[in-house]
Structure 1
Amino acid sequence: MAQENILETRIDNRLIHGQVGVTWANHLGANLVVVANDKVSTDEVQQSLMDMVLPDVIQARFFSLQKTIDVIHKASPKQKIFLVVKDVHDALTLKEGGVDFDHLNIGNMHYEEGKKQISSTVSVDEKDIAAFKRLAELGVELDLRKVPSDRGQNILDLF
């Protein structure tokens, strides 16, 4: 699959919800949302709940990280893909596995014990920072942005 089929790759620990399923997918012109997440790939209840958020004209696929690496390059040219991952580590796994994206939208990474909040929607720890730096070394532009109308910011500027 040509990189052009992946319109955007986004980190959002909520995966598909209203902001992703409607705002972002419509803004990008996506007709397919691929959720790359090992846990959700086997959880039909979660998949059904996320599927309900999407407009009828947008399909969803729920793949493990390895299956995403194995099959995304086989996508039809007609598929305009919005790739969604839960965290920076999943994004790095995909990139190092050969998934061809050079832009990463960081939308939502919830606060947890041991993480520091760097924006209203993103909290990171040292492992997250190391993964972001590795993605940058691999040539990925790191764009912190909640919604398309927000002004993006390079997340590396916040560390």
Structure 2
Amino acid sequence: MAILDVRIDDRLIHGQVCGFWIPHYSLERIAIVDDEIVNDEIRKTALKFGCPEKCKLSIFSTVKAADKFIRKIDEGIRVMILCNSPVPILKMAKLGYKAPFVTVGNMSTKPGATQIRKTVFVSPEEKAAFVELVEMGIPIYSQMVPNEAREDISELLRN
């Protein structure tokens, strides 16, 4: 499996992912990692309906995803890991799959969240997860669309 991006965007499958990121990376599969969605048939159906036909969509729990990514089950397939927060990425790291980097797109406002970028609002739990990822040596970048410059926000998240 060629994991080309580990992306956080709380909208998951939407216009920017389908219209920009899938073509940019010539993605063959998006792997959503989420312990709640994996057990929600309605949300899974809606997400699969929104994904373009040329790109397969898989939805995994953090445990199953970490196992698959460690064992490189889909070797040779162009994949983006997509999560709605840093928490599943941290859980996978603790299970042994350490992402090479994380790209943050959109994280909507929520109660108790702090705005760190125009479209990135981080709750205390998310900030703690980001800090742990940074301390594990995983760089965190901010980038909404491919033609926008990617900015390292690792230190910003630590403070």
Normalised to the residue count of structure 1, the TM-score between the two structures is: 0.88
Encode CA deviations 1:66-114: one digit per residue, 9 max, x unaligned.
Answer: 1111223242323211000111111111122122421100111111111
Structure 2 counterpart of 1:107: 105
Number of corresponding residues? 156
- What is the rounded CA distance, in whole Å, between the counterparts of 2:91 and 2:135 in structure 1? 14
User: Does residue 1:35 correspond to 2:25, yes or no?
Assistant: no
Among 46, 49, 56, the residue aligned to 1:49: 46
* Equivalence for 2:142: 144
Paired AA for residue 140 in structure 1: I
Could you tell me how far apart the structure 1 residues matched to 2:58 and 2:13 are? Answer: 11
Task: Check the 8 A contact 1:7/1:80 in 2, yes or no.
Answer: yes
Once residues 36 and 151 of structure 1 are traced to their aligned partners in structure 2, the CA distance between those partners, rounded to angstroms, is 26
How far did 1:157 drift?
Answer: 4.3
- Unaligned stretches of 5+ residues in structure 2: none
> 1:60: how far off?
0.5
Q: Distance in 2 between matches of 1:141 and 1:29?
A: 23
Rounded to whole Å, the distance in 1 between the matches of 2:98 and 2:79 is: 12
Partner of 2:77: 79
- Quote the RMSD (CA, aligned, Å): 1.7
Q: Secondary structure at the match of 2:117?
A: coil
Q: Which whole-Å CA distance do the structure 2 matches of 1:16 and 1:141 have between them?
A: 23
Which residue number corresponds to residue 15 of structure 2?
18
Aligned-residue offset at 1:22: 3.1
Question: Which region of structure 1 is more displaced relative to structure 2, 119-128 or 8-17?
Answer: 119-128
How many Å separate the matches in 2 of 1:113 and 1:91? 22
Matches of 1:74 and 1:153 in 2, distance apart? 28
Q: For 2:118 and 2:110, how far apart are their aligned partners in 1?
A: 14
Q: Contact 1:11/1:91 (CA < 8 Å) preserved in 2? A: no
Decide whether the 8 Å contact of 2:109 with 2:120 is kept in 1. yes
Question: C-alpha separation between the residues in 1 aligned to 2:98 and 2:90?
Answer: 11
Q: Which runs of 5+ in 1 are unaligned?
A: none
Counterpart amino acid of residue 83 in structure 2? V
Instruction: Give the Cα separation in 2 of the matches to 1:130 and 1:34.
Output: 24
Return the offset for 1:61: 0.5
Give the AA of the match of 1:62: I
